[in-house]
Every structure is written in C-alpha cells, then in structure tokens.
Copies of this chain bind each other. A is one copy, B any other.
Amino acid sequence: MALYVQKFGGTSVGSIARIEAVAERVAAARARGHNLVVVVSAMAGETNRLLALGAELAARPDPRELDALVATGEQVSAALLAIALNARGVPARSLLGHQIRMRTDGAFTKARIHAIDDATLRAVLDEGRVAVVAGFQGIDAAGNITTLGRGGSDTSAVALAAALRADRCQIFTDVRGVFTTDPRICPDARKVDQISYEEMLELASLGAKVLQLRSVEMAMKHGVPVEVRSSLEDGEGTLVTEENAALERVVVAGVAVDRDVAKLTIRGVADRPGLAARLFEALAEAHVSVDMIIQNVSADGRTDVTFTVTKGDLAAARPIAEQALGEEQSGLAVDETLAKVSIVGLGMRSHAGVAAKMFRLLADAGVNIAAISTSEIKVSCLIREAQADEAVRTLHDGFELARPD
C-alpha cells in the first residue's frame, strides 16, 4: 500500500464544483488502495481578500496577526474538502498546522519549517482516513500561527512527504507538467516526463513558475520524488527526481525566460579589493535580491560592475548603486527593457560548446546579447525584451526540444 502526498492549489479548490472534482480524484486514488495525505491551498482569491481586509486597517499590519488572518483560508479549504470526502463515504479529517505540529521558526509571513511531528498524521492514516492538511501554515515554538510565504503549500506538501517518507509527492496544478519551454511562446513545446532536481531548480528560479523554488530545494535535500500533474485532466505529469540512468540524457532540458529584470551598471569602478563587497552588502541590508552579477577587470584599473534585480526592487537598488561607492565610481546606467533567456540541462556538464552554440543561434537570429552569466548546468543571456519570444523559439528549435512528431 503506497503512501502519496497530493497537493491541490488555489485554482483547483477555487469553487464548490472544483472541490467536488478534487474529492472525486482523491476518492479514485483511495479506491486504487493508496494511503493519502492531501494538502490544500486557500480557495483562489481568498488570501488576497483577507490581505485586503488587513490592509484597510493598517498601512503595515502586524505580521503575526496577518498570519493568523490568512491561515484561515487554508483551514476553510481543508474543512470543506474533508466534508466533501466524508459525504462520499471516504473517511477524512482536516488537520491544521497546530494539530500536526508543523513547527517553524518565528519569521511571520515567511517562516521556514523546522520539524513535523508525524504521530498525529500516522494515527489518522492508521485509522484508515484521508488526512486533509491545511497547507502554507505552521506554528512556532510559542504556538503562534506562522505562514510559509506565497506558494508555501508546495513546501508543506514536500515537507510532509519527507517526514512521512511518502512514495511520491504529487503537485496538482493547472498545467500538465514541466515543459521544455513556455507553450504560449512555442506551441510545439514538449512535456518532459522526467527531470532532475538540479534542472528543476534552475528552471524554477528562472521564471518557469510550476513549482515553488523552496519546495524543489527541500525535495532534493530529502530525496522526495515530486510529480507535477494536471488537476483538470488525466495523464502522467512530470516526475522530478534524482539524476539517474532513467533520466533523458539530453544536453538541454528546457529554455526559460524571465521578463522581470532590471539591469544596473556602475561605471568606472576603481579596481580595488572590497568595493564589490561594500556594494552588495549594502544591497543585502536593504533586502534587495540580486540575480546576475557580472564584472570584468579592465586594463586601466577601472571596471564596470553590472547586476540585475527584479523590477520591483529597482527603486530600492538605484540609490544604493548611485551612492555605495562614492568617489570610487563614475556613473550609473539602468536598463529596464531587457529579458533573460536561459538554457538548462545536466548534459552541459559533459558537453563542451553548448554555450557557444547558444550564442551562435542568437546571433544568427539577430538577437544581441547584453550580458552573459553561466552556472554548471545553465547559461543565461540578457537580451532586448522585445526579442524574447523570438529568442526562446530560436533556442527551442536549435536545441531540438520540440515534440518528436
């Protein structure tokens, strides 16, 4: 008898009819003999509705109280799904963060999971029930309600699968799986049957918003097999798993694009130790998350330092970039008209010339590259945002990722 953790997001439980459909799906899995832990998000729109109520009362609502407020969204979904399951003759029980002792740190609105006491969950499963767990929420050491941040229900599901050593963690979503690139840009994008944690991490952080980044990190750390599949139609999804012989040995697994990019270039920086540290420490203190960092040492003792942030962080980053280095810099240039295209694949490790092929493909398509950044299994290029779709299609074709028909 296999133990599955199944996670259904806000859209999947967004209405009474959708909750009925989820109950049918859970009942069917149960009928196939699986033990089930089902993790649910708040009904679509509910979290924003609650946040808006809080925002009416305070410019900066108390974070502890915000968590107590929004955690009700998942509680409602869990209770409703348990009602629907019990009504179908499938014994089920809703469980909240404090009931399964989902212990987190005390960082309200963005807590991290420390430990799960699996005794309550195992007892519910041993009684032959489906455990319906409110995602996104936990409690800190003092019993305060915490939440895991946006998309935290994916993390809840993977954490539960790890704690229970589940056979699989299934993330039901509104897409059929992980694709070689965005199907809205490339209609012949192909669903990938299997992908490694490392590749998925690079894709998740690059704007393929199928799985929450932290949930992939946690799955990799604990070796939890994660399957992304559709809650709207049947059919196998994408299995995210260890790198192994069964994985498709492709050089490039996918092409990702991220349009939320602002590039800052600090000109004429003195080439002396500690200047970069001073700049990026100042950015970190201001909670600005920096993505790409590019620096070339120049011959005359002065250099340009380029980095990228999200457009939302630009307002915070700009004054720091202007002032951090004082006399040691000669100017700042900001560009908000760029996008980042990336190719990701384990095969790059053993295949030379992948980056070169990417640059050649882009050049032949007339796409100019403003900056380049690479990791072991990824190459990212900043290009003009207006050329992003063209670049994605060029790379998807050039690396032969299309459906094999």
Contacts and interface: CB of A to CB of B under 8 A. Distances in A.
Given A50-B76, A83-B62, A143-B99, A20 B57 contact: yes
B76 A61 contact: no
B61 A83 contact: yes
Interface in A232-268: none
A87 B58 contact: yes
Nearest to A101: B143
A314 interface: no
A291 to B, nearest CB: 33
Contacts of A99: 143-144
Task: Identify whether the interface residues of A are mostly helix, strand, loop, or mixed.
Answer: helix
A19 interface: yes
A83 B96 contact: no
A57 B82 CA distance: 10
A261 B170 CA distance: 55
Interface residues of A, number: 40
Interface in A58-103: 58-62, 64-66, 68-69, 71-72, 75-76, 78-80, 82-84, 86-87, 93-94, 96, 98-99
A50 B65 CA distance: 21
A298 to B, nearest CB: 51
A23 B64 CA distance: 18
A69 B62 contact: no
A15 to B, nearest CB: 10
Given A57-B80, A68-B79, A69-B83, 12 more contacts: A19-B57, A50-B76, A53-B76, A57-B87, A62-B86, A65-B82, A65-B86, A65-B93, A69-B76, A69-B80, A71-B75, A99-B143
Interface of A: 16, 19-20, 23, 50, 53-54, 56-62, 64-66, 68-69, 71-72, 75-76, 78-80, 82-84, 86-87, 93-94, 96, 98-99, 120, 143-145
Query: What 9 pairs across the A-B complex have the smallest Cβ distances?
Result: A58-B87, A69-B79, A72-B72, A68-B79, A62-B86, A57-B84, A65-B82, A61-B83, A16-B56
26 contacts: A19-B57, A23-B57, A50-B76, A53-B80, A57-B84, A57-B87, A58-B84, A58-B86, A61-B83, A62-B83, A62-B87, A65-B80, A65-B83, A65-B93, A65-B94, A66-B83, A68-B75, A68-B78, A68-B82, A69-B80, A72-B72, A72-B76, A96-B145, A98-B143, A99-B143, A120-B143
